[in-house]
Amino acid sequence: MASKSTSSRFSPEFYPQLLLIVLVAMSFRVSLSMWGHSGEGKPPMHGDFEAQRHWMEITSNLPAKQWYVHGPKNDLQYWGLDYPPLTAYHMMAAGMIAKKVNPDLVELGTSHGIEKPDVKFFMRASVLVMDILLFLPAAIAYFIFSRPQKTDESIILNSIMVFTAYPGIMLIDNGHFQYNNVSLGLMVLATLALSFTYDLLAAILFCMSLNYKQMELYHALPFFGYLLGRCIKSGVFRGIYKLASLGMIVIATFAIIWSPFLSSVESAKAVIQRLFPFNRGLYEDKVANFWCSVSPLIKFKDIIAPQDMAKICMLVTSICTLPSFIDLLRKPTMKKFHYASINISLIFFLFSFHVHEKSILIAAIPVCLVVDKDPLAVVWFLLISVFSMVPLLMKDGLLIPTTVAVSIFWMSSDYFVRPTLNQPAQVVYTMQVSLLGGVCLVLATRFIPAPQRFPDLFQLLIAIYSCAHFFIFAFYFHLKQLGGIYEQVLWKFLEGSKGTVSQKKSFDASSVNVDKNLATNRASSRSLRQRR
Amino acid sequence: MAAVSTLATVSALLKLMFIPTYRSTDFEVHRNWLAITHSLPISKWYVEKTSEWTLDYPPLFAWFEWLMSQVACYVDPGMLLVSNLNYASNATVIFQRVSVILTDFVFYYAINEFQKLQLFEANTKYGKSYNAITYLIPILLIFNIGLFIVDHIHFQYNGILFGVMLLSIVRILQDKSLEGAFWFSVLLNMKHIYIYIAPPYFVYLLRTYCFQRDRPVSFSTFSKTNFVNLASVVLVVFGLSFGPFVYHHQLGQVMSRLFPFKRGLVHAYWAPNVWALYNGVDKFLTVLGLKTCLLQAEAVPAASMTGGMVQEYSHVVLPSIAPLVTMILTALGMVPALYMLWELKSPLAFVRAIILCAFTSFLFGWHVHEKAILMIIIPLTLLVKYSREDAKLFLILSTTGYFSLFPLLFTPFENLLKVLLFLQATIFSFLAIKSLFSDKVKETSSPTAFLAQSLDTLRLPLLSLVESAYLWGLAALGIFNSGLPLRLFGSDLFTRLPFLPLLLTSVYCAVGVVYCWLQFYRLFLCEKFCPKNHDDTNSLTAEDSATFISRKKRR
């Protein structure tokens, strides 16, 4: 992966250390794979594991025309395909391999709910393959190539470590069972392409990501805003040319991916109807978003019809994304893009229609990408994001691996990126109290039986607790994005009465300076440790 | 010492991840022992034989099981019924897995005690990753993937046993000889395989505790009180352990369980020792004899060619080996090490002698298990920081030894996991040890030829070219054994000879283990007979260890 020019950038120890990080990440994922998955031993519907397996069965046995259409051989009531075509192709490829290795797994009609050790291994291995081929390389490439040449290699390694050790995505992908690593890996690659100013490539990669999972729409606005902003910035003629070529490339990518479904309007419409089911609920289970958290007070679900609610959600979401979007449009820099992709996906998570608890991953991955810029907020946010998914993970019997993954992530990120270094004392205390509160809530959920009248009491409490955090984080990241005067207000507030911390000046400086600052921080902390 | 406890916590948490992994029959063995000790009177412990996995560890281990069963009855009483064969409810699995993880804290405690001593550290300039070097030995021990595989996946209680062993070593290094002797007696009464490392304890304690360390051996320097103290500590432990069975007139019964001589020269899977080489040569000669028609096909027992890895391997060409031969060879192999220990009487020599005795018994012993390699690797870890040579031997032996554990796991997920764990451990050890001895890595000769240069990039840190080639050979062997290359060529070699991968693994690893044994012996003998040879390494000389001892005296 490393090109000639960068091969001399790192010491000879860099690559073995990198390999070590990848090996640790992979062995954790492999051992996680041996635990339960969603819907294990729960007929008749099982869970996401069975859904993905069923899609392999459908796509590898039926022609593309029938994938999204209800038919004698394709019962859409039983986990009908409702992801975009790229997922379908991926499932088809996996199904083709399964036919060679283990034909029972994708036998049309008769393989429903199949549960055998070799089936589990095949499915789990298919996720691990995407981890090793796409997700981890994307993260590594991102941190190596998007950072300035002078960046201390320990910062790069530590950032990669935090990214690969983030428990949320592995618990969902390798535990619960999904392929978020594909769509999010593509999104990371698209971000990397943007930082190289390969705008067309970024557009292609993002379109692929979007065509893998429609939830990537959460990221569509930041990409759109950034690219449009750059078009506007480059003058009238160049701008129009740029915009036209971007539009062409997007249309072309879509056309290629959708080609089997474009033969008639009906077939395209059938796919779209599967992708955007507006007759579904406002949210699934207990989600840490706005609508669910206010449900003890106002039950929107019961007062307003889903169709109207969808419109309300859309309106609220679009209004709330405006500040971040307009700011990005005006100043399309990479720093703003990072924060905008956090902010907008977070707003979508908080306000949009039919949100799953897993969707927090879409906000969490862009957060991971700024771990070297703002370690405290990142680590805190990531921990809370896993916390918000605990009820789901408990349902899959993944409480022990969740505890292990979170504790190790917490301890190792504390050691490697030192989030609390040079931070105002009360911020650190607040973080510790907030996380302790989360731990207590999880313990309560596990050990205290919920009252008869409110069987979902603790799940709801977890949702509300996380939702409050997400609101604060959204506010914080907005201030970070807007920068300038807003950020100064933020630091005034954080530092409060307890004296100022000298390091804070660096936050106004460019990202390069922040990196340098981090390097010196690290050096000083190392010497501190040595002295100890 | 917060760092050791942090490492221990991380390790314990990681081990929780292995709860749903494959469990060998040892899981049922220990469940059965829980049931026996919990529900039967002592007089029945070594008589009971409902399950084929009868109690065959010494009494203190049975008491250890009894202790755990007192908790187990609150978790799931079902596992405590002797008749409940192969019982493995969720609660049982979690209880047994967690019991291994928790009892490992004895091991961590011993490691912490060792780390506090700051022994056997060469004066090297520390590399960049300062913390990883300071805590190198704790890290290598706490994250010992051999223990991960054997204890936490395959299932056994080696963690606590090695903990007690390490504790006895540490106490003796601290000059608390009686305490050390006590812990070692406890260890012997928990698992009798540790009798292999008893001779160094005997010699060292006799020389430094019964006789006076600094004065020549004579009748006048022999301390009778010390000897009586030592003997009474050992006898009390043995008395408590075996006394009840003597009372019930069952000593013979217990002994017949502890030392079953019906087993063969080698275990089902050959441990990588001298006998694996011996059998390998025998196999080779058989095939050669058949090919050249010097050997009649009828003269070859059927199992010898098709199976090849049966419990009782009968030799075809070479003479069969009697148990007595292995015992004599083991004893002979230990004598030079014990003589050196008697002469050098230093803490370093004590550890070296333990390693060599474990080594010798592993190489020449009767019916050795491949897991016994940990008995060499774990004490050898203590010397990693001592000198370049020790570190080098640790690298070769640990890599080879962990590789030789591969056949223990064979299910799909575990296959992946063992390779990942192995690579992690190997890369970490090489990285850390390289930075520890980095000031010495730069060699004077700079190869100019292209071939020499490309060969040099393959050379592993600290190792010579041949040694590196040997370790790279492990990688090649691993790939070959995975069956993929053969499948590509459409060969059915492994279906015809299913035991070929095991045979290749144990024979190949045996070469490395024997090499390390010879090198380690040379290292030990050099300490007395050729001290000048050590000029180019940064090891402590005999003087240094003498100053260490006097330093301790002053304290």
In a domain, B14, yes or no: yes
> What is the reported pLDDT for B533?
47
Report the alpha-carbon distance of residue A54 to residue A68 in Å, rounded: 13
> What is the reported pLDDT for B532?
55
What is chain B's alpha carbon radius of gyration, rounded to the nearest angstrom? Answer: 24
Q: Which residue among B17, B420, B428 places its CB closest to the CB of A404?
A: B17
Report the alpha-carbon distance of residue B169 to residue B358 in Å, rounded: 14
> What is the reported pLDDT for A503?
42
pLDDT category of residue B438 using cuts at 50, 70 and 90: low
pLDDT category of residue B312 using cuts at 50, 70 and 90: low
Beta strands (DSSP E) in B433-543 are: none
Residue with the bigger pLDDT between A225 and B318: it is: A225
Report the alpha-carbon distance of residue A48 to residue A39 in Å, rounded: 7
**Highest-confidence segment of A145-154, A415-424, B54-63:** B54-63
pLDDT category of residue B444 using cuts at 50, 70 and 90: very low
Among A243-257, B178-192, B194-208, B317-331, which stretch is predicted with the lowest mean pLDDT? B317-331
CB contact under 8 A, B20 and A19: no
Kindly state the tokens that stand for B86.
């192969």
Q: Which residue among A124, A128, A530 places its CB closest to the CB of B130?
A: A530
pLDDT category of residue B537 using cuts at 50, 70 and 90: very low
Q: Which residues from A are below 8 Å from B421, CB to CB?
A: 27
Residue A338's nearest CA partner among A133, A520, A131, A146 is A146
Among A107-121, A308-322, B312-326, B375-389, which stretch is predicted with the lowest mean pLDDT? B312-326
Per-residue pLDDT at B129 exceeds 60: no
In a domain, B51, yes or no: yes
Mean pLDDT value of segment A291-312: 86
For A401, which residue in chain B has the nearest alpha carbon?
A: B17
Residue B268's nearest CA partner among B313, B334, B208 is B313
Residue B81's nearest CA partner among B47, B50, B44, B42 is B50
Mean pLDDT value of segment B391-411: 95
| A368-380 residue pLDDT tens | 999 988 899 999 9
CA B171 to chain centre: 20
Structural domains of chain B, count:
1
In a domain, B112, yes or no: yes
Q: Which residues from A are below 8 Å from B131, CB to CB?
A: 529
Q: Is the Cβ–Cβ distance between A191 and A341 less than 8 Å?
A: yes
> What is the reported pLDDT for A475?
93
| Domain interval for residue B217 | 2-258
Among A113-117, A324-328, B475-479, which stretch is predicted with the lowest mean pLDDT? A113-117
> What is the reported pLDDT for A125?
96
* B82 CB neighbour count, 10 Å cutoff: 16
| B244-290 residue pLDDT tens | 999 999 999 999 899 876 677 777 778 999 999 998 998 888 888 88
pLDDT category of residue A274 using cuts at 50, 70 and 90: confident
In a domain, B443, yes or no: no
CB contact under 8 A, A34 and B423: no
Q: Which residue among A27, A31, A412 places its CB closest to the CB of B424?
A: A27
| A24-55 residue pLDDT tens | 999 999 999 999 999 888 888 889 999 999 99
User: Shortest Cα distance from A431 to chain B (angstroms)?
Assistant: 21
pLDDT category of residue A524 using cuts at 50, 70 and 90: very low
Mutate to test the interface with B, among A15, A30, A153 (most CBs of B within 10 A): A30
Per-residue pLDDT at A500 exceeds 60: no
pLDDT category of residue B140 using cuts at 50, 70 and 90: very high
pLDDT category of residue A423 using cuts at 50, 70 and 90: confident
3 state SS of A355: strand
CB contact under 8 A, B431 and A16: yes
pLDDT category of residue B301 using cuts at 50, 70 and 90: low
Per-residue pLDDT at A282 exceeds 90: no
For A12, which residue in chain B has the nearest alpha carbon?
A: B431
pLDDT category of residue A492 using cuts at 50, 70 and 90: confident
Which ranges constitute the DSSP H helices of B174-270? 177-188, 198-205, 224-247, 251-258
Residue with the bigger pLDDT between A96 and A426: it is: A96
% of chain B residues with pLDDT over 90 = 65
- Enumerate the domain spans of chain A: 4-33+116-524
| B476-501 residue pLDDT tens | 999 998 888 888 888 888 888 888 88
In a domain, B537, yes or no: no
> What is the reported pLDDT for B221?
86
Does A13 reach chain B within 8 Å, measured CB to CB?
yes
> What is the reported pLDDT for A507?
38
Q: Which residues from A are below 8 Å from B430, CB to CB?
A: 16
CB contact under 8 A, A407 and B130: no
Kindly state the tokens that stand for B288.
């050669």
pLDDT category of residue B446 using cuts at 50, 70 and 90: low
User: Shortest Cα distance from B460 to chain A (angstroms)?
Assistant: 12
> What is the reported pLDDT for A86?
96
Please give the mean pLDDT across all residues of chain B. 87
Q: Which residues from B are below 8 Å from A31, CB to CB?
A: 17-18, 21, 413, 417
Q: Which residue among A20, A125, A411 places its CB closest to the CB of B424?
A: A20
Per-residue pLDDT at B525 exceeds 80: yes
Q: Is the Cβ–Cβ distance between B199 and B338 less than 8 Å?
A: yes
**Highest-confidence segment of A77-91, A293-307, B479-493:** A77-91
Q: Is the Cβ–Cβ distance between A108 and A73 less than 8 Å?
A: yes
% of chain B residues with pLDDT over 70 = 88
Mean pLDDT value of segment B315-341: 91
% of chain A residues with pLDDT over 90 = 64
Does A408 reach chain B within 8 Å, measured CB to CB?
yes
Amino acid at A96: M
3 state SS of A381: helix
Mean pLDDT value of segment B213-232: 89
Please give the mean pLDDT across all residues of chain A. 88
For A122, which residue in chain B has the nearest alpha carbon?
A: B412
DSSP for B351-390, please give it: HHHHHHHHHHHHHH-SSB-GGGGHHHHHHHHTTTTT-HHH
Tell me the count of A-B CB pairs closer than 8 A. Answer: 71
Q: Which residues from B are below 8 Å from A19, CB to CB?
A: 423, 427
Does A441 reach chain B within 8 Å, measured CB to CB?
no
Amino acid at B444: T
CB contact under 8 A, A13 and B130: no
Among A328-342, A397-411, B382-396, B490-504, which stretch is predicted with the lowest mean pLDDT? B490-504
Per-residue pLDDT at A256 exceeds 70: yes
In a domain, B134, yes or no: yes
Q: List Cβ neighbours of B14 (8 Å cut-off, separation of 6 or more).
A: A28, A404, A408
CB contact under 8 A, B424 and A17: no
The secondary structure element, H or E, covering residue B491 is: none
CA A337 to chain centre: 16
CA B344 to chain centre: 25
State the residue for tokens 């998007």: A146
Per-residue pLDDT at B426 exceeds 90: yes
Mean pLDDT value of segment B72-100: 94
Per-residue pLDDT at B443 exceeds 80: no
> What is the reported pLDDT for A485?
78
